Amino acid sequence: MPPDRDEQLALLLADLSAQARGGGADVDAVAARHPDLASELKELWAVAQFADLAAASKSSTLPYRPTSDDTTPPLPRAFGDFVLESELGRGGMGVVYKARQQSLGRTVAIKMVREAHLASDADRGRFRGEAEAAARLHHPNIVTVHEVGTTDGQAYLCLEYVPGQTLAQKVNADGPLPPREAAGLVAVIARAVHHAHEHGVLHRDLKPSNILLANGWREPAGGELEPPAGSRQPFAPEPKVSDFGLAKRTDAESLTRTGDVVGTPSYMAPEQATSRKDIGPTADVYSLGAILYELLTGRPPFRSSDPLQTLLMVLEQEPIPPRDLNPAVDRDLELICLKCLQKPSELRYPAAAALAADLEAYLVGDPLSVAGSLGSFVSRLLRETHHAAVLENWGLLWMWHSVVILVLCVVTQFMAWAKVESHAVYLAAWGLGLVTWGSIFWRLRRRGGPVLFVERQVAHAWAGGAAASIGLFIIEVVQGLSSLTLSPVLPVIAGVVFAFKAGTLSGQFYLWALGYFATAVYMAAVPATGHLVFGLVSAASFFVPGLKYYRQRQRGRAAGG
């Protein structure tokens, strides 16, 4: 007897966990072999990894936060050509020291794997990956790697020393930045990130604590007052992108295990949160948007004390508009920020340079690429949610449902034409018809496997709509109204149910909701053919999406062999 759906998911998760312990777990490959379980498998795998992450560590990497550790030798101490003077910070993988390089007489930062004798292969791989990724980048706003070496078996990176605080420390101390200053900082960071992308490196862990603020001077951003001739005006500390420990080279194998969930939940793009392999530059664009959001509001777009809850917020919720938290934020800057934070990657800026260009245009008062963003609003409104995949379970059933609804409406229309006035006849047709078919529908769905929570929500909305439709006939009797007097309310009820489906599953259902509301007006104006039109609209609203998701499921099964 084959295992049921839950048991099969459990077996696949156990197999992925075993693969991960062996050095790599490819969740996409496993999902391709089991297309009917793919969506649930990926979400469960993502949650499992974050559960492991939360159990292993309650804090994310903060590379420049002073800490103390009684197990480390006292400072200062010699380390090859360096004298380690003080600890700058540490995270889950590495520790960073301020050091003096004796041969060159310069102050540097030394990063090494923390407790190297206890480091896992993954830790060493990420450390090596950071060296390979960062060493190929030469940009004034990316922390420079001076050299990579080994002393007494301890690998290290010799990095540019950046005096000053992190962007996270600045926000924690000062609160939200002035909007123009925030825009200027993120524009500079975005240019640096684009440079990394041009050299085939995705950062994948951009966040305020990985942005260092060098003490120094830089020319004012566009639109600011020009400094006097021959002088430079202090505008803001120079930002520098650091910590490429989770970087991925786009021209080589991932520097982390395939299928790993990597990054920090509050700044992580949804595609990272579901451990997809096809992560591109737009994932870093999302993180840049999250940084801009925090600079404008003093908090990241999504934050909870529980990393798993934060992950679910990233996947399911929309961020509060920055202007709701800080009225000083300009509408144009809010549009830029929210475009970065779109959940579908294709709705974000296609490159970090495009984000930088809009921020620079904002600073000098030029038109933005997101100005007049009606198209962007409509695209966001009509997009699918990550729950839409469950509709593959309903595709064929919805096609049958369209037939049932059409037959019921046609029968009602013919009875109206035949001058049938009995409320009992209509109540029996709709009551018995909807209840009987609903029972059959639900029984057939349960045969297809366990019913997900979101499916139960949609089913409850549909059941409520069906009950309200039947209730109209009862109200007609109680009020002493003629049969079918309240029929124009039927498409109003259906439209409300479809609006709920739009918010839960796919925004395209808003279009069907509008179609239902228009049908209500038609039924009130032309009662002679109203039920027939209602039947045609209802059948189409179920058959068209049902066919789409049925074909989508068939393609998935064919791709999985």
Structure tokens at 495: 């439209």
Common-topology check for domains 77-120+144-160 and 167-382: no
Q: Inform me whether the pLDDT recorded for 6 exceeds 60.
A: no
CA–CA gap between residue 529 and residue 484 (Å, rounded): 12
Q: What is the pLDDT of residue 258?
A: 41
- Is the pLDDT at 11 greater than 70? The verdict is no
Residue 534's nearest CA partner among 490, 483, 501 is 490
**Could you report the per-residue pLDDT of 476-516, keeping only the tens digit for each?**
999 999 999 999 999 999 999 999 999 888 889 999 999 99
How much is the average pLDDT of 184-207? 92
Mean pLDDT for the stretch of residues 292-310: 88
Q: How far is CA 558 from the centre of its chain?
A: 28
**How far is 259 from 19, CA to CA, in rounded Å?**
11
Considering the domain delimited by 167-382, tell me its CATH architecture: Orthogonal Bundle (1.10)
Nearest to 186 by CA among 353, 401, 393, 367: 353
Task: Average the pLDDT over 413-421 and give the result.
Answer: 94
Q: What is the tens place of the pLDDT at every residue in 442-468?
A: 888 888 777 888 888 889 999 999 999
465 close to 494: Cβ distance less than 8 angstroms: yes
Radius of gyration of the CA atoms of the chain, in A: 29
CA distances, 30 to each of 16, 39, 53, 258, 431 (Å):
8, 11, 22, 12, 45
How far is the C-alpha of 164 from the C-alpha of 452, rounded, in Å?
A: 50
CA angle 273, 171, 264 (to 5 degrees): 15
Specify the DSSP class assigned to residue 207: -
User: H or E segment at 48?
Assistant: helix 38-56
Distances (CA, A) of 453 to 34, 181, 308, 347, 435: 21, 44, 18, 28, 22
| Candidate from 19-28, 90-99, 131-140, 421-430 with smallest mean pLDDT | 19-28
205 is catalytic: yes
pLDDT value at 473 more than 80: yes
In sequence order, the β-bridge partners of residue 93 are none
| Amino acid letter, residue 218 | R
Give percent of the chain with pLDDT exceeding 70.
74
Residue 438 confidence (pLDDT) above 60: yes
CA–CA separation, 25 vs 475, rounded Å? Answer: 59
Residue 66's CB is within 10 A of a number of other CB atoms, namely: 11
Residue 206 predicted with pLDDT over 70: yes
The answer, yes or no, to whether residue 417 has pLDDT greater than 60, is: yes
92-101, 255-264, 358-367: the lowest-pLDDT one: 255-264
Helix (H, G, I), strand (E, B) or coil at 338: helix
For residue 37, the Cα-to-chain-centroid distance in whole angstroms is 21
Please state, as a whole number, how many other Cβ atoms lie within 10 Å of the Cβ of residue 358.
26
pLDDT of residue 410: 96
Q: What is the mean pLDDT of the chain?
A: 80
* Tens-digit pLDDT profile for residues 316-362: 888 999 999 999 998 889 999 999 999 888 889 999 999 999 999 98
Cβ burial, residue 129 (10 Å; 0-12/13-18/19+): buried
Would you say residue 261 has pLDDT above 70? no
- Looking at residue 139, its amino acid is H
Burial (CB count <10 Å: 0-12, 13-18, 19+), residue 409: buried
Residue 129, pLDDT > 50, answer yes
pLDDT at 375 over 70: no
Buried (b) or exposed (e) across 34-47, using 16+ Cβ within 10 A? Answer: bbbbbbbbbbbbbb
Between the alpha carbon of residue 507 and those of residues 181, 319, 382, 500, 504, the distances in Å are 36, 17, 4, 10, 8
Q: What is the pLDDT of residue 246?
A: 54
How many Cβ atoms sit within 10 Å of the Cβ of residue 262? 21
**Distant-in-sequence, close-in-space partners of 193: CB < 8 Å, separation ≥ 6:** 203, 206, 241, 284, 288, 352
Closest CA to 243 of 111, 55, 52, 367: 111
| pLDDT tier, 122 (very low <50, low <70, confident <90, very high otherwise) | low
* pLDDT of 53 above 50: no
CB 264 within 8 A of CB 272: no
Q: pLDDT-based confidence at 368, cuts 50/70/90?
A: confident
- Residue reference for tokens 């599953």: 505
Helix (H, G, I), strand (E, B) or coil at 285: helix
Write down the pLDDT at residue 68: 44
Q: Quick one: fold of 77-120+144-160?
A: Phosphorylase Kinase; domain 1 (3.30.200)
DSSP 123-158: HHHHHHHHHHHHHT---TTB--EEEEEEETTEEEEE
Strand order across the 106-113 sheet: 77-79, 82-90, 94-101, 106-113, 154-160, 145-151
Lowest model confidence (mean pLDDT) among 52-66, 186-200, 320-334 = 52-66
List the domain boundaries for the chain.
5-56, 77-120+144-160, 167-382, 388-559
Q: Are 538 and 523 in contact (CB under 8 A)?
A: no
- The catalytically annotated residue of 36, 123, 205, 284 is 205
User: Tens digits of per-residue pLDDT, 19-32?
Assistant: 665 555 676 777 77
